[in-house]
Structure 1
Amino acid sequence: MVFDKDEMMTIISQENPSIDIFLRNLENDYSKIKNDNLVIDLLSFSKLTPYNVVSFLELSKKHRKNGKSFVLVSDKVSYEDVPDEINLVPTLQEAKDIVEMEEIERDLEL
């Protein structure tokens, strides 16, 4: 897994083409990143299904419950094909925008 941290978020990507291994590694390393806003870059996965995206749902709920952003990035699956509880966008820029908006909302206690 590749971690790209800045002051507002951590972008996580994977060089290994297996989504199952990526999710397992993410869960294993979660304690290191649990206090960060997370952007999960799934753009490198050529075969991604709505089921693969939904497999992140429990981790997403857990992370958002702690008051942090959790955004998945994929242009292979439409946000319309996954539950509303999952933030899914097609580009990294949109993911960064969501994190920024959610940070503002938290600062304003909305």
Structure 2
Amino acid sequence: MKVEKKGHTTTIRNTQGSTAEFYQKLHHEYNSFKSQNIIVDLSNDKALTMDDIKLFTEMIKIHSKEKKSLVLVNNSVNFNTVPKNIMLVPTILEAHDIIEMEEIERDLGF
């Protein structure tokens, strides 16, 4: 797991290989990231499945209650099959854009 902080956002890159193992490690260390917006970069996992993505559902719920964004990044998944409560984008740049938009919405009270 590679962690990079930039402003109010932390990018966490999966270097584990297995998304399930990576999720367990991220879940275990979540308290150290919960005050930041989080980008979870799963780009290295070309065999990512919908079950792997759904692992993050509970963490996303908890994070949104804290008024923070959690965005997943991977471009090898059919975006039409991703549940609406999970924000999945194909690039890191788009993840940053989503976080900025959500920050603006929160500032405006939406």
Bin of the TM-score, shorter chain as denominator length: over 0.9
Q: Give the alignment of 1:92-107 within 5 angstroms.
A: 92-107=92-107
1:59 equivalent to 2:33? Answer no
Deviation string 1:48-69 (CA, Å, 9 cap, x unpaired) is 0111111111111111111000
Shift of 1:91: 0.7
State, as a whole percentage, how many aligned pairs show the same letter.
41
Q: Distance in 2 between matches of 1:78 and 1:100?
A: 24
Query: What is the aligned partner in structure 1 of residue 85 from structure 2?
Result: 85
> Which runs of no fewer than 5 residues in structure 1 stay unpaired?
none
Quick check: 2:42–2:73 contact (8 Å CA) kept in 1? Answer: yes
Shift of 1:8: 2.2
Query: What is the aligned partner in structure 1 of residue 50 from structure 2?
Result: 50
* Residue identity in the other structure for 2:66: N
Q: Distance in 2 between matches of 1:14 and 1:51?
A: 16
Q: Distance in 2 between matches of 1:22 and 1:71?
A: 15
Q: Distance in 2 between matches of 1:35 and 1:66?
A: 8
Q: 1:76 aligns to what SS in structure 2?
A: coil
Shift of 1:109: 1.3
Quick check: 1:63–1:70 contact (8 Å CA) kept in 2? Answer: yes
Runs of 4+ in 1 over 4 A off after TM superposition: none
> Which runs of no fewer than 5 residues in structure 2 stay unpaired?
none
Q: Give RMSD over aligned pairs.
A: 0.9
1:25 equivalent to 2:25? Answer yes
* Residue identity in the other structure for 1:15: T
Shift of 1:79: 2.4
Q: Distance in 1 between matches of 2:80 and 2:57?
A: 15
Deviation string 1:18-52 (CA, Å, 9 cap, x unpaired) is 11110000000000000100000000112101111
Q: Distance in 2 between matches of 1:51 and 1:80?
A: 15
Q: Distance in 2 between matches of 1:104 and 1:44?
A: 30
Q: Distance in 2 between matches of 1:75 and 1:27?
A: 23
